[in-house]
Amino acid sequence: MNWGHKLLIAILCFIGMMAYLVFKSVNTDFQLVDKDYYKNELKYQEVIDGANRVNQLKTAVKIEKSGDKILVQLPDEMRGEKVSGALWFYCAYNEKLDRKLSFSPDSNGIQTFDVSLFEPGSYTVKLEWVSNNTGYYKEQKLSL
């Protein structure tokens, strides 16, 4: 085999490798944290203020797995108050596992969710609620 054939084989291998890389890059699924990232970024000061309000409460918010239930318990100061909000179970590595649920605890400030609603994995639970026209925000890691 002379040098011309070796050069042709090298060029064909290079073209094949580049075609493979282009194919893989076109078929890669890119997931953003949020579809409306820039719009939500402008509202981020509300999240900071809500987290600061949660830190000023006397007792902590509890988000924990207990058997086959997920227990979300508001601080004792919120008992008996009208509370409404949202829970976002955010899975960083798979957008399809994310769950957004409404949050409306009972008079004791407790709401439970069935674990069977979720696939096993690691989640960041983002709890956002309003009580007496004041917004609160809590973020916590949870493994299911």
- Residue 19 has a pLDDT of 96
Task: Tell me which fold the domain 37-143 belongs to.
Answer: Immunoglobulin-like (2.60.40)
Q: In angstroms, what CA-CA distances link 40 with 6, 43, 49, 108, 136?
A: 56, 5, 15, 31, 16
- Residue 116 has a pLDDT of 87
Listed by start position, the domains of the chain span 1-30, 37-143
Q: Say whether pLDDT at 42 is over 80.
A: no
Instruction: Compute the average pLDDT of residues 87-106.
Output: 88
- Residue 33 has a pLDDT of 64
- Residue 29 has a pLDDT of 74
CA distance 28 to 60: 41
What pTM value is reported for the model? 0.70
Q: What are residue 84's DSSP bridge partners?
A: 130
End-to-end CA distance of the chain: 61
